[in-house]
A and B are shown apart, each in its own frame.
Chain A
């Protein structure tokens, strides 16, 4: 019978309990009188002992004492000689003492029983409360998305929350009783002895585990273990909390892979750059030397044998010299072009107005004897590498001057096309030979020329240099033009403070 079904006597009111003490005594008196009526006088006090025991059983020690107190005068009055008097003969005394002892014994037994029952009840209540608390906690653990389970000292799963159920795919019934490492195919990041040593020493362990779900998919979890011990400090159970980090791990791997790839690429790029540098150096030194010799000896020959050479031969020599010179210029331009790609840009605040005036001054020689109508608008201030931007302006201006050479009056306009928070744009417009927009895509390419050498000399590197410099600044270049109607070149650089 479950203890919870037995009514607890303290629940009853004292009136009821003490009233209960009277009824058994009256009952015992009735039985005693009935026995006397049939002349059975051997055990007249036995019903009273029962009455006390019943009272003690159901009413507690107080009512039991009361029933003892009531029983003694009642017994003395009805059954002790002289009969119908509360006084008793001395000869009856042993009977009274025996009765009092028996009644007290009954009351004491009752009290002991009651104490035992109270203890049991208390233990039951505690147990019940604990069960409730545990159930509540367990249902709380079910609320979390983390997989939480408990495994005992033998690695047998004894608790399995809903998170674990959802994540791994085994129900609580399936999981409990299994060996956790076997069920989950756990791959530990370190030798198990090492992990156990740490767990036993600190009571905790944290790490990443590879496991396999019920559907066979492999997952990576971040696992935290906490140890519970018994009073002797022995390992009792381990609470395991696992977080799924498979996706994070995958991304990390991906990022690591990409980084490695990037490092490899930049190493390759660096090597290529080094090679290019060595190549440029070699071009600079080794290619120019034979060229110098060619032109040197041709010149010496010209000097020595000029008088004996006919016109044709003299022209041949002149052509050799001219070609050597042209090749020299090509090499120099190409080297300058490649240097732009390799040199570090040092960005400062640049007054383009001032820079333009400097460039114009340096070109005075080229404009000598020509009518050049300069229209120069206000130019913005921008951030950039001074010497590089100067090269841009010099190239554009020199182009404008070159291609307007055949005009009686050269008109060259320089101004600001745009100036806002993002960028500043500058244009250089001329009324020169222009170009066919059909070939605009070739304009900024290396060695690309849209005019024949006889008409306009040049190496075809100037605009490529311009584009390269502007691109290194993070800006853009473009050109507009029409044959014989002049050309306009635009360049823009970001309007940002590099600091």
Chain B
């Protein structure tokens, strides 16, 4: 395997976080996962603010973004990220429960890199997370300026 990129996960539901982490762990992808629990925290991370003020300024190699989030929702984050010259290089994968076409269309219009509906079935869920992790953190060559381990 190649070097592993850092994954920024934006997910408010601790159960989803746990399940996702479990799935990633299973494939040894969990070492470099930063979890932020709401939109504001995610933006703090991206802009190295608040408790992230002393982090290295590198961008994560991928952002897994839930849409329904407290404070600042996923679509707003997506809009901010994709309209910021420095951040728009980060590949963003929307990982959501919503199958709504409206969300999907809006996300793609805002320039999302992938849109994944979380499957109810755990096997499928694990497969999806695994594939996402492998593809974005390992196979995909991230834009320059991303964290590589």
Contact = CB atoms under 8 A, between A and B. Distances in A.
A299 B122 contact: yes
A478 interface: no
Given A293-B13, A295-B120, 4 more contacts: A285-B98, A288-B97, A300-B122, A328-B121
A98 interface: no
B16 interface: yes
B129 to A, nearest CB: 11
A36 interface: no
A293 B15 contact: yes
Contact of B19 (A285, A296, A327, A339): A296
A325 B68 contact: no
Contacts of B122: 292, 295-296, 298-300, 321
A288 B100 contact: no
A281 interface: yes
Interface string A253-271: 0000000000000000000
Contact of A292 (B22, B99, B125): B125
Interface in B89-144: 96-101, 118-123, 125
A285 B96 contact: yes
Contact of A299 (B97, B99, B123): B123
A333 to B, nearest CB: 11
Contacts of A296: 15, 19, 22, 122, 125
Q: Ordered nearest first, which 10 A-B pairs have the shortest CB separation?
A: A328-B120, A299-B122, A293-B15, A296-B19, A296-B122, A288-B97, A285-B97, A295-B122, A285-B98, A292-B120
Contacts of B125: 292, 296
30 contacts: A281-B98, A281-B100, A284-B97, A284-B98, A284-B99, A284-B100, A285-B68, A288-B97, A289-B97, A292-B19, A292-B97, A292-B120, A292-B122, A293-B19, A295-B120, A295-B122, A296-B15, A296-B22, A296-B125, A298-B122, A299-B122, A299-B123, A300-B19, A300-B22, A300-B122, A321-B122, A324-B120, A325-B121, A328-B121, A332-B99
A474 B100 CA distance: 25
Contacts of B101: 339, 343
Contacts of B68: 285-286
A284 B100 CA distance: 7
Interface string A358-384: 000000000000000000000000000
Interface string A305-349: 000000000000000010011011001100100010001000000
Interface size class of A (residues with CB under 8 A): 20 to 34
Interface string A424-443: 00000000000000000000
A343 B13 CA distance: 30
A260 to B, nearest CB: 31
Interface in A270-292: 280-281, 284-286, 288-289, 291-292
A331 B13 CA distance: 20
Majority secondary structure of chain B interface residues (helix, strand, loop or mixed): loop
A439 to B, nearest CB: 31
Interface of B: 13, 15-16, 19, 22, 67-68, 96-101, 118-123, 125
B22 A293 contact: no
Q: Which of A293, A296, A327, A343 has the most CB of B within 10 A?
A: A296
Nearest to A302: B122
A402 B118 CA distance: 28
B120 A325 contact: yes
Contacts of A321: 122
Contacts of B19: 292-293, 296-297, 300
Contacts of A324: 120
Contact of B13 (A289, A300, A335): A289
- Identify which of B15, B118, B120, B125 gathers the most chain A CB atoms within 10 Å of its CB: B120
Contact of A288 (B15, B22, B120): B120
A328 B22 CA distance: 21
B16 A292 contact: yes
B34 to A, nearest CB: 22
Q: Which of A289, A292, A293, A332 is most buried by chain B, counting CB atoms within 10 A of its CB? A: A292
A284 to B, nearest CB: 5
A328 B119 CA distance: 9
A281 B96 CA distance: 12
A288 B120 CA distance: 7
Nearest to A290: B15
Nearest to A293: B15
A382 B100 CA distance: 29
Contacts of A289: 13, 15-16, 97, 118
Interface string A149-173: 0000000000000000000000000
B121 A335 contact: no
B120 A291 contact: yes
A293 B99 contact: no
A399 to B, nearest CB: 23
A295 B125 CA distance: 10
B55 to A, nearest CB: 29
A335 B117 CA distance: 14
Contacts of B97: 284-286, 288-289, 292
A339 B96 CA distance: 18
B22 A295 contact: no
